[in-house]
Structure 1
Amino acid sequence: MASLQNNEHHSLKHGLTSRQVSMISIAGIIGAGLFIGSSNAIATAGPAILISYGIAGLLVLLVMRMLGEMAIANPDSGSFSTYAGKAIGPWAGFTIGWLYWWFWVLIIPVEAIAGADILHAWIPSVPSWLFAFLIMITLSCTNLISVKNFGEFEYWFALVKVIAILAFIVVCALGVSGYWPLAEVSGVGQLLGNGGFMPNGFGAVLGGVLVTIFSFFGAEIVTIAADETSNPKEKIRKATNLVVYRIAIFYIFSIFFIVSLVAWNDPRLLQVGSFQRALEILNVPGAKMMVDIVVLVAVTSCMNSGLYTASRMLYSLGARGEAHPITRHISSNGVPTVAVILSTLAGFVGCFVNYAFPGKVFSFLLSTTGAIALLVYLVIAVSQLRMRAILEKEGEVLSFKMWLFPWLTWFVIALISVVLGYMLISPTYRYETLMTAVVAGAMLLIGVSRRKSQISLYKPLPVVQPKNR
């Protein structure tokens, strides 16, 4: 306890530079799901997956605008969890904060395992589990040293992803226009071939939204990271304004070229992935190796961001008294070391469970994250709806506002509610939705009961008036 008390005066430092925050905001929107999950999405909806990405992208754009409004008014490492606690109630901040932490500590081992499988394919003599643990140890050490280390790693990870996607778009554009010398392909015939633009109906497009929405999850990381940089309000404003361009360039453009070149029912699409299959059709030499390198960088970047985000959320929960006080311990370098270590240990447990009980326990745990992204977005929308009323009542002038308030906010709330309802009645997504509801319900009960016990514990004793003598 002495060590904890000696470090209570430390706080999170402004260790992130402007270029790092800019790249972190880009990296947050380019998740590993774009490279790994897009093939499943295309196979689900066909070329109409472009509509799915458009709907999901619009939803994320509006949610980020709402989150940006609150974050610019009050930058905080707890981001939407803090705002939910203020706008809705402490129970909401507690529940959504712990759900978000739960999501990322389960995604951390997923990304580590995906990266380890690639490395194991390159070096079969080294077991996959050893690669996974080495990746986790390396990134946890960089996060423990200083936030600047995290920012530098994420900067280069993001730069590789950006260059790779831009190069992919250029090559595919040359192929579609008939100027690519290595293959005799041209045009966008695959968009309308093989059953038409929407071969599996509009229901499949809605299913595609559920697949694609999780590819965008992580865009909110910039509102958490901005608290550790100078002039956070300006960084959040800039990142929020540029979300629409990043969605259009990195997602819509790349997916458009893929479905233009690759048949949605191509059997190799699910075997090798959408990006590799498109490059194979264009006869790009070394397509598999190039895609494997980019995917390795993407999953490592996602894990790096996940560890950072989980630790900051856990630190914020501790700072608000909603986690053990030890989680708010900060080193002299401004790093919440205990929160980083605990988040890393949770990731190690996930890795161990995956390798010790393959296909059983870890798959069950991962199913509990199925609807967390949508719950987070729903809470952000409700928080912004109520926070705006609170701020306006206090007479605060907002410099960054949500468009067409409150109508677009209500639109987002209604849209997310419809999607969650569809997940609940759909046989494909019902199990994951119910599992998420169980975890969310458990955390809600813990939060409410904990709040009641605190109120009971600190309830003032009644004042006893002295009797007249």
Structure 2
Amino acid sequence: MAAPERPAQAPTSSQAPASPPPPASPVGAHGEPVKDTGLVRSLTHRQTTMIGLGSALGTGLFLGSGSAISAAGPAVIISYAIGAVLVAVIAVLLGEMSAAHPVQGSFGAIAHRYLGPWAGFVTRWTYWFSAVVVIGTEVVASALYIRWWWPGVPMSAAILAIATLVLAVNIINVKAFGTTEFWLSAIKVTALGAFILCAAFLVFFGLPDHEATGFAHLTDDGGFVPHGPKSVWIAMSVVMFAYAGFEVVAIASAEATDPQRSIRTAMRQLAWRLSVFYVLAITLVVALIPWQSLAAGDGSVEASPFVRVFSDIGVPAAATLTNLVVLVAAVSAANAHLYGASRLLHSLGDDGLAPAPLARLTSRGVPANALAASTLGIAAAALLAFYDVAGIFGILMSIALFAVLLVWLLILASYVAFRRHRDAHPEEFTGFSIPGGSRLALVAGAGVLAVAATAIEVPDMRQAAGVGLTFTVVLLGCYALTVFRRSRRT
């Protein structure tokens, strides 16, 4: 029997799904010994938690918030609060599943077990696609932050510099990635906490040459909901992108030293930390700067609303520091998403659902080929930037969001099937369980569908839906072809 610390491997798509195995089982779904995947369990509990924050606290908050404020005005606070609740539910449900099955392939392998091989195939490939796009988005944002200081730097050169840095961190080994991501995340979490304290001081007390703003800006310029209640829903098309990325914690469980403990606490901490950080930060930003002023920069994202908070009140040094922090945030998010994308692509190759070279590991346990393939988003972003395609950020963000919404739906569907099996066979499972989890999954699923429905009103989301649905159809076709070719061999 294999050692207990080895992650259970999902069966390949040529095998019919059988009844799910006990959690963290040392054998596969059909009782076969699990082969050594080569991944190294060296991520500590603290690193796993910070990886989740690193992937979620990025461009969506620091740069994309300008578009959300433009869409809903001060009422964007409601959009972020709703998003926080929705993501908290998905996070804790995913945490329950991942703690029970800390396997290579994470939620993709779990979807394979509980929904069928097609679901595992689509989930992993779709998440890889969304992560690759997010990597490109974060790198573009990093380049924009650099150009805030040096406008003369070519966009393509700035993108290349950031891409080289991120790839170098990931190619060494997982321990180097975990250490780097821990400190990058710690910097931006600390800085965001400091920003919240400083902004709150300006709101309530002000400075000698700058009066306290209070919360008058929340109701000036057309009231709290200047564009009507519908705008709260429309803004969700931007807001939810800010929360995407917490899933990397589940992916990291296959390389965590104590996966059950790490997943259980990391997901719970992520749920409340993201809620506090996002809602408080956006509330203070809108309280300090009139929302119409923040929205005026929509379409020209050369500066983050967080940077403008300080530059508009005449504190240029603080604005420079804030721009440095949001640059670190974007690099950190790109770093974490590249890790997550490469691990899912490696698991697909290991299961025979992607080209075999993608399953190869270096002597340090790094899937170098999968890493290289996952940089396609950076290459695409650089190409778009080279040809000066207008609205690069908005296009990439919408495509990534639509893909991740589909992944969330599959995660929630997997949870319903997982919970049904867990309730029927409680003796197979240990660890925490979410009361009323199945009902929460259905409510969260309705919320995800409501966000996807913004494609009716938002042109970028409509374009993203076309790309996303086409990609999904192609994936299903590829899966059918894979099954057909395997059946011909047998």
**TM-score of the aligned structures, taking structure 1 as reference length:** 0.89
The offset of 1:48, in angstroms, is: 1.0
- Identify if the C-alpha distance between structure 1 residues 109 and 269 changes in structure 2 by more than 3 Å, giving closer, same or farther: closer
Mapping 1:21-32, distance limit 5 Å:
21-32=48-59
Q: Does 1:104 align with 2:135?
A: no
The offset of 1:288, in angstroms, is: 3.2
Out of 255, 279, 282, the position equivalent to 1:255 is: 282
Aligned pairs, how many? 450
Out of 110, 113, 133, the position equivalent to 1:83 is: 110
Out of 412, 436, 441, the position equivalent to 1:409 is: 441
Q: Does 1:390 align with 2:390?
A: no
Say whether the 8 Å CA contact 2:71–2:234 is kept in structure 1: yes
The offset of 1:273, in angstroms, is: 3.0
The offset of 1:377, in angstroms, is: 1.0
Say whether the 8 Å CA contact 1:268–1:277 is kept in structure 2: no
Cα offsets for 1:37-80 (capped at 9, x unmatched): 11111121111111101111111111111111110000023121
Distance across 2 between alignment mates of 1:120 and 1:414: 40
Aligned to 1:399: 431
Cα offsets for 1:216-272 (capped at 9, x unmatched): 000111111122121111001001111232123210111111121221112655464
Cα offsets for 1:86-109 (capped at 9, x unmatched): 111111111121111112222223
Distance across 2 between alignment mates of 1:421 and 1:204: 13
Say whether the 8 Å CA contact 2:79–2:232 is kept in structure 1: yes
Mapping 1:45-64, distance limit 5 Å:
45-64=72-91
Say whether the 8 Å CA contact 2:128–2:341 is kept in structure 1: yes
- Identify if the C-alpha distance between structure 1 residues 418 and 18 changes in structure 2 by more than 3 Å, giving closer, same or farther: closer
Q: Does 1:423 align with 2:455?
A: yes
Out of 103, 108, 116, the position equivalent to 2:143 is: 116
The offset of 1:385, in angstroms, is: 0.2
Aligned to 1:36: 63
Distance across 1 between alignment mates of 2:206 and 2:290: 20
Aligned to 1:359: 389
2:409 counterpart letter in structure 1 = L
SS of 1:131 mapped into structure 2: helix
The offset of 1:430, in angstroms, is: 2.0
Out of 283, 296, 303, the position equivalent to 2:327 is: 296
Distance across 1 between alignment mates of 2:144 and 2:51: 25
- Identify if the C-alpha distance between structure 1 residues 398 and 47 changes in structure 2 by more than 3 Å, giving closer, same or farther: farther
1:130 counterpart letter in structure 2 = A
The offset of 1:281, in angstroms, is: 4.5
The offset of 1:438, in angstroms, is: 1.0
- Structure 1, 183-192 or 109-118: larger mean CA deviation: 109-118
Out of 356, 378, 383, the position equivalent to 2:409 is: 378
Aligned to 1:231: 258
Percent of counterpart pairs with the same letter?
A: 33
Distance across 2 between alignment mates of 1:343 and 1:375: 19
Aligned to 2:9: none
Out of 355, 358, 370, the position equivalent to 1:324 is: 355
- Structure 1, 17-26 or 96-105: larger mean CA deviation: 17-26
Out of 196, 203, 220, the position equivalent to 1:169 is: 196
Distance across 2 between alignment mates of 1:301 and 1:38: 18
Distance across 2 between alignment mates of 1:265 and 1:237: 41
The offset of 1:440, in angstroms, is: 1.3
Distance across 2 between alignment mates of 1:374 and 1:287: 36
Say whether the 8 Å CA contact 1:10–1:332 is kept in structure 2: no
The offset of 1:329, in angstroms, is: 1.2
Distance across 2 between alignment mates of 1:277 and 1:397: 50
- Identify if the C-alpha distance between structure 1 residues 188 and 117 changes in structure 2 by more than 3 Å, giving closer, same or farther: closer
Out of 95, 102, 124, the position equivalent to 2:122 is: 95
Distance across 1 between alignment mates of 2:65 and 2:101: 35
Out of 362, 366, 369, the position equivalent to 1:338 is: 369
Distance across 1 between alignment mates of 2:209 and 2:489: 74
Gap regions ≥5 residues in structure 1: 1-7, 459-469
The offset of 1:355, in angstroms, is: 4.1
Say whether the 8 Å CA contact 1:424–1:434 is kept in structure 2: no
Cα offsets for 1:259-304 (capped at 9, x unmatched): 2122111265546432123223543342431222112111111111
Say whether the 8 Å CA contact 2:91–2:271 is kept in structure 1: no
Cα offsets for 1:405-453 (capped at 9, x unmatched): 3221111122222332342465563222122111111112211232233
2:195 counterpart letter in structure 1 = F
2:71 counterpart letter in structure 1 = T
Distance across 1 between alignment mates of 2:251 and 2:147: 34
**Cα root mean square deviation, aligned:** 2.4
Aligned to 2:185: 158
1:388 counterpart letter in structure 2 = R
Cα offsets for 1:3-43 (capped at 9, x unmatched): xxxxx956111222233223212223312211101111112
Aligned to 1:200: 227
1:317 counterpart letter in structure 2 = L
Larger Cα-atom Rg: 1
Say whether the 8 Å CA contact 1:176–1:185 is kept in structure 2: yes
Distance across 2 between alignment mates of 1:124 and 1:41: 25
Distance across 2 between alignment mates of 1:322 and 1:143: 23
Out of 311, 336, 342, the position equivalent to 1:311 is: 342
Distance across 2 between alignment mates of 1:74 and 1:362: 38
- Identify if the C-alpha distance between structure 1 residues 185 and 211 changes in structure 2 by more than 3 Å, giving closer, same or farther: same
Aligned to 1:3: none
Distance across 2 between alignment mates of 1:58 and 1:312: 28
1:432 counterpart letter in structure 2 = A
The offset of 1:390, in angstroms, is: 2.4
**TM-score of the aligned structures, taking structure 2 as reference length:** 0.86
Distance across 1 between alignment mates of 2:71 and 2:101: 40
